């Protein structure tokens, strides 16, 4: 097991498009386990492989109170999404200390492979639905700040660049 470094916005690597996983082998299972450890350590409810600079379609999530029910989605695809939308404040481990309102489909049905390589389908609502959409965006190189106004996004970019510079100096 290992903690993986998380890329921070505006790192251009966050905008890479992930490739499908060809086979769920030991390398992918190791990645999944490291991502779960990294997500739990960072106290996030989800993590996409893109955020740890691996550009393959792998997502881990854990929306449980007890932080002991990780979900794994390999090669996830949305097979259904509700017309109804939901609006909630989102945050991102790649954009620390930044929260803003984003519109998402209220309910989604996702099909993916699990850690065992078996295909499964899951219907989600609430935070799980929001998180699946947030993570699947990462896999196509999209960060939630891209849904905000250009003014807000530029302010966030400026603040993150300053933070990175300050961290470098410290």
- Catalytically active residues, by annotation: 135
**Residue 89 CB neighbour total at 10 angstroms:** 9
32: partner contacted, choices Ni ion, ligand GNR, none (Cβ within 5-8 A by kind): none
Distance of alpha carbon 38 from its chain centroid, rounded? 12
Structure tokens at 37: 């450890």
Contacts of 169 (CB under 8 A, 6+ apart): none
Is residue 135 within 8 A of residue 46, CB to CB? The reply is yes
In whole angstroms, the minimum distance from the beta carbon of 81 to ligand GNR comes to 16
105: partner contacted, choices ligand GNR, Ni ion, none (Cβ within 5-8 A by kind): none
90: partner contacted, choices Ni ion, ligand GNR, none (Cβ within 5-8 A by kind): ligand GNR
Given the rule CB under 6 A, which residues bind ligand GNR?
A: 44-48, 51, 90-94, 130-131, 134-135, 138
Q: Between 87 and 116, whose beta carbon lies closer to ligand GNR?
A: 87
In whole angstroms, the minimum distance from the beta carbon of 139 to ligand GNR comes to 10
Q: Residues binding Ni ion: what is the number (CB under 5 A)?
A: 1
In whole angstroms, the minimum distance from the beta carbon of 64 to ligand GNR comes to 13
Is residue 157 within 8 A of residue 9, CB to CB? The reply is yes
The CA distances from residue 128 to 36, 37, 46, 67, 134, in Å, are: 16, 19, 9, 14, 10
Q: Is 92 in the site for Ni ion (CB under 5 A)?
A: yes
In whole angstroms, the minimum distance from the beta carbon of 169 to ligand GNR comes to 26
Is residue 141 within 8 A of residue 83, CB to CB? The reply is no
Q: Between 92 and 102, whose beta carbon lies closer to Ni ion?
A: 92
């Amino acid at each position: 097991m290992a903690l993986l470094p998380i890329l921070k916005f505006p790192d251009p690597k966050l905008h890479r498009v992930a490739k499908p996983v060809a086979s769920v082998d030991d390398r992918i299972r190791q990645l999944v386990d490291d991502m779960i450890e990294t997500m739990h350590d960072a106290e996030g409810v989800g993590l996409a492989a893109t955020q740890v600079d691996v550009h393959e379609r792998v997502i881990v999530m854990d929306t449980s109170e007890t932080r002991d029910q990780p979900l794994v989605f390999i090669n996830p695809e949305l097979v259904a999404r509700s017309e109804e939308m939901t609006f909630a404040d989102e945050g991102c481990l790649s954009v620390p200390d930044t929260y803003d309102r984003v519109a998402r489909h209220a309910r989604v049905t996702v099909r993916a492979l699990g850690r065992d390589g078996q295909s499964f389908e899951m219907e989600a609502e609430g935070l799980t639905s929001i998180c699946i959409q947030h993570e699947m965006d990462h896999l196509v190189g999209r960060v939630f700040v891209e849904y905000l106004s250009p003014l807000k996004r530029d302010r966030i970019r400026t603040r993150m660049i300053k933070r990175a510079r300050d961290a470098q100096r410290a």
